[in-house]
């Protein structure tokens, strides 16, 4: 019986050693993928033609921004919140208001329309240094 037990034990130990040796063996790791280079933007060449084009484009963009700034100073659109004779206040945003002063020659379109509180309007005229708009034309939208 001891011989049988000893032979079975050796057989189990041998099989476990063989299976342990196979599972414990290190396989060669897969190589890491090589990193791909990042394309870095470059500055345009410094030749005279390219620089002339860049300066012209920058000048045109500056003119557009200046024209929009002047237009914003000389016009507004919003909802009338106050109107009395020659004074008007227009709500242009959630908490933004603009004072408007009318004069004898202010044109109100469509003809015969009368702006009042709650009326949507578009106003053009001349902006003053204090932010008030001297209205030349008022268009009642609805």
Q: What is the pLDDT of residues 29-82, one digit of tens each?
A: 888 888 888 888 776 667 888 888 888 999 999 999 988 887 777 888 899 999
Per the CB < 8 A criterion, the answer to whether 12 and 20 are in contact is: no
Percent over 90 (pLDDT), the chain = 28
Domains located in the chain, CATH noted:
71-140 (2.40.50.140)
Mean pLDDT of 103-130: 89
Does the pLDDT at position 137 exceed 70? yes
pLDDT given at position 121: 94
Q: Position of tokens 């268009």?
A: 139
Q: For residue 130, give the H/E element and its range.
A: none
Average pLDDT of the chain, as a whole number: 83
Encode 2-66 in three state secondary structure: HHHHHHHHHHHHHHHHHHHHHHHCCCCCCCCCCCCCCCCCCCCCCCHHHHHHHHHHHHHHHHHHH
Contact (Cβ atoms closer than 8 angstroms) between residue 87 and residue 102: yes
CA angle 89–90–96, rounded 5-degree value: 105
Residue pair 133/127 in contact by the 8 Å Cβ criterion: yes
Contact 134, 103 (CB under 8 A): yes
Give the model's pLDDT for residue 119. 92
Predicted pLDDT at 120: 94
For 125, counting Cβ atoms within 10 Å of its Cβ (0-12 exposed, 13-18 middle, 19+ buried), the class is buried
CA distances from 50 to 4, 57, 59 (A): 94, 11, 14
In the numeric block, which tokens belong to residue 139?
A: 């268009």
């Amino acid at each position: 019986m001891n011989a049988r037990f000893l032979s079975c034990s050796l057989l189990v130990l041998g099989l476990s050693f063989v299976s342990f040796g196979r599972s414990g063996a290190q396989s060669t790791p897969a190589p890491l993928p090589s990193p791909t280079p990042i394309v870095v933007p470059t500055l345009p060449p410094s030749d005279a033609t390219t620089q002339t084009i860049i300066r012209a484009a920058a000048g045109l963009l500056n003119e557009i921004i200046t024209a929009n700034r002047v237009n914003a100073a000389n016009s507004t659109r919003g909802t009338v919140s106050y109107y009395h004779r020659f004074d008007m206040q227009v709500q242009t945003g959630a908490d933004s208001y603009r004072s408007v002063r009318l004069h004898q020659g202010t044109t109100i379109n469509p003809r015969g329309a009368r702006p009042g509180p709650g009326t949507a309007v578009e106003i053009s005229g001349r902006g003053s240094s204090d932010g008030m708009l001297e209205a030349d034309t008022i268009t009642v939208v609805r």
